[in-house]
Amino acid sequence: MNEVLLIAKKEIQIALRKKLIVALAVVIVGLIGVALYTGYVAYKQQKNIIEHAQKENRTKWLEQGDKHPHIAAHYGTFVFKPKTILSLFDFGLDTYTGTSIYLEAHYQHEFMFRPAQSHSSVIRFGELSVAMVFQILIPLLIIFLAFTAFTEERENETLRLLLSQGVLYGTIVKGKLVAYSIILFVIVAPFFVIYFMLSMVITNSGSITDIGLRIGFLIVMYMLYLLIFMTFSVWVSMRSSSSKNALLTLLTCWILFTIIIPKTTANLGESLYPLPSMKMYKEAIQKDVRLGVDGKTTKKDRQEQLKNEYLKRYQVDSLHKLPLNFEGIRMQSGEEYGDRIYDIHWQRLIRIFDNQNRVSSLSSIVNPYLAIRNISMGLAATDLNTSIHFQKITENYRRALIRKMNLDMAKNSKYGEFYEYKADKNLWKTVEGFQYKTVSVFETLQLYLIELLSLCCWGLVIAILIAYSSHKKRPVL
């Protein structure tokens, strides 16, 4: 153990003497600081805007005055996607998913205003977030730190000297790994402490569930990821004949992992599973509404069936004699049929998204960056799954709201009358304000089993590789 610490101490001393490494470490700490600060400012700004808009929107709904429930259903309401506190760590897809949605009768609107649309093409170069520093920049620091781990010892002939003094190869490896871990820990620990304290302080985490657990998992996952990169870099250094080769190999891997593979897999997914255009998607929904899911039962047929069903159920011969307003029933029935069709098409669309993203998900087996990127977004609730879940919740909210309006109309107004009936604030109040909570952390992690498996496999394989290489008595020349 003593030997390991001695080697680690020497390694830290050497790293501190390298001005470039120190400068890079300072830059990385600075970037984490900038990312945290700007992330926090953006979070606060958006949070305030959304809370204010949501409040104002609620007031407008309640104070819309007396009107027919169906007009109120068309007046509708808005829902704004809340920012989660963890989004200041990982922006994820927030810039590319819409921020607000208009909920009204008959139509399922899509989310509007992707923040990226208000930027020029510079936005495609990415946004500085703490997650970006951890996923892309710290691995680069690790590469610069560790590529000479063994090659330099060999080039300076100090490896032979160490081995001749009875130091085991494995001990040298352990010593170097301990040293790099300490250096990394010094760089990232303050950030983790700040984040952990923040999670303790925040009692009301807004829309995100299990905040403490999420942060805990994030810390563990990132530590594992960085450890994998560190061990991999040391292993490459062990296997390389020169520092130059080690550096080139590691830089090539880094570029493949962080730039080329993510882009090619996402592009490949899109080519393999093409998306429909919005126009054709909506046309298909409209066609099914018009002709029925089976292509035979038209809207008119369905309405006729419903009419007969109600006349039979209440044993009357005229819609006027029904104890409720058939118009309300007809509207609700049309709404439910439309919802059924929408669900079929929407599920189809989500399946295409899933298939597209599965390509990069499976690629995480060979690319730990993809694994941590997806897990991190998931835990920060800034991923596609959270966005889809949010859409589901908003759609359920829309359906409940419209149902309430239609049933009120059916119950309280008369068939053949429209403007004669007006509902008031008492009805509007029965529609509760929109609330959103993400799924639990465990449900989130279940969606990322491939990525979790990938990180574990990488950890295991790289540990085996380094252990195997360490057992060799002679260095690889």
Partner 1 sequence: MSNTLRILLRYEWITFTRNTYQIVMLCCTFLLGLYSIYYGQSEIKVQRDTIRDVIAIEKKEFDEYRTSFQEKSTTESQKKKLQIASDPAYAWHRHGYHAILHPHDYAALAIGQYDLHPYYYRLTGMSLHYQIFENEIANPVKLFVGNFDVSFLLIYLFPLLIIAFSYSLYSGEKENGVLPLLNIQSISIRRIIVIRLLFYFFLITSLALLISLIGLFVSGDILASENSLAAFFWMFGVVLYCAFWFAILFFIVSFKMNSSFTAISAAGIWLLFLVIIPSILNVWVTTKYPLDSTSLAEITRRTSLENEEDVNEAKEVIYEFIAHNPGFKGSEKLIHNNTMAKAYAALTALKDMHCQKDVDHYNNQISYRNQWVSGFHWINPAVNMQSIFTHITKTDLSTFRQFHKAIELFHSRISYFYFRKLFWDKSITEEDYLKLPTLEIQTDTVKWGTLIVIGMLKVSSAMILFFGIGFIMMKNKKI
| Residues 237-256 interacting with partner 1 (rule: CB under 8 A) | 243-244, 247-248, 251, 255
CA 465 to centroid of chain Cα atoms:
32
State which of residues 9, 10, 12, 31 lies at the interface with partner 1 (CB under 8 A): 31
Q: Of 317 and 420, which has the nearer Cβ to partner 1?
A: 420
- Shortest Å distance, C-beta 477 to partner 1: 18
Strand partners, 140: none
Q: Of 110 and 304, which has the nearer Cβ to partner 1?
A: 110
> What CA–CA distance (Å, rounded) separates 389 from 397?
12
Q: Which DSSP state fits 259?
A: I
Q: Of 88 and 215, which has the nearer Cβ to partner 1?
A: 88
> What CA–CA distance (Å, rounded) separates 304 from 11?
83
Residue 142 contacts residue 184 (beta carbons within 8 Å): yes
Q: Does 17 participate in binding partner 1 (rule CB under 8 A)?
A: no
Residue 183 contacts residue 25 (beta carbons within 8 Å): yes
Q: Taking CB under 8 A as the rule, which mask of x and - marks residues 115-134 in contact with partner 1?
A: xxxxxxxxxxxxxxx--x--
Pick out residues in 155-214 that bind partner 1 (CB under 8 A). none
Q: Taking CB under 8 A as the rule, which mask of x and - marks residues 40-59 in contact with partner 1?
A: -xx--xx--xx-xx---x--
For residue 236, how many C-alpha atoms fall within 13 Å in the half-sphere facing its CB?
Answer: 25
Q: Of 84 and 99, which has the nearer Cβ to partner 1?
A: 99
- DSSP letter string over 107-136? -BPPPB--GGGGS-GGGGG----HHHIIII
Q: Does 141 participate in binding partner 1 (rule CB under 8 A)?
A: no
Report residue 280 as tokens: 């054709």
Pick out residues in 303-332 that bind partner 1 (CB under 8 A). none
Q: What is the dihedral sign for C-alpha 169, 172, 178, 179?
A: negative
Residue 96 contacts residue 123 (beta carbons within 8 Å): no
Q: Which of 65, 109, 83, 205 has its CA nearest to residue 397?
A: 109
State which of residues 39, 82, 139, 175 lies at the interface with partner 1 (CB under 8 A): 39
Q: Of 32 and 322, which has the nearer Cβ to partner 1?
A: 32
Q: Of 169 and 436, which has the nearer Cβ to partner 1?
A: 436
State which of residues 10, 12, 58, 75 lies at the interface with partner 1 (CB under 8 A): 75
Q: Does 266 participate in binding partner 1 (rule CB under 8 A)?
A: yes
Q: Return all residues near 314 (Cβ < 8 A) that are at least 6 apart.
A: 321, 322, 323
- Shortest Å distance, C-beta 314 to partner 1: 29
Q: Find the angle CA(134)-CA(264)-CA(228) to the nearest 5 degrees.
A: 35
State which of residues 184, 384, 409, 452 lies at the interface with partner 1 (CB under 8 A): 384
Q: Taking CB under 8 A as the rule, which mask of x and - marks residues 391-430 in contact with partner 1?
A: ----------------------------x-----------
Q: Does 345 participate in binding partner 1 (rule CB under 8 A)?
A: no
Q: Does 148 participate in binding partner 1 (rule CB under 8 A)?
A: yes
Pick out residues in 268-307 that bind partner 1 (CB under 8 A). 269-271, 274-281, 283
Strand partners, 65: none
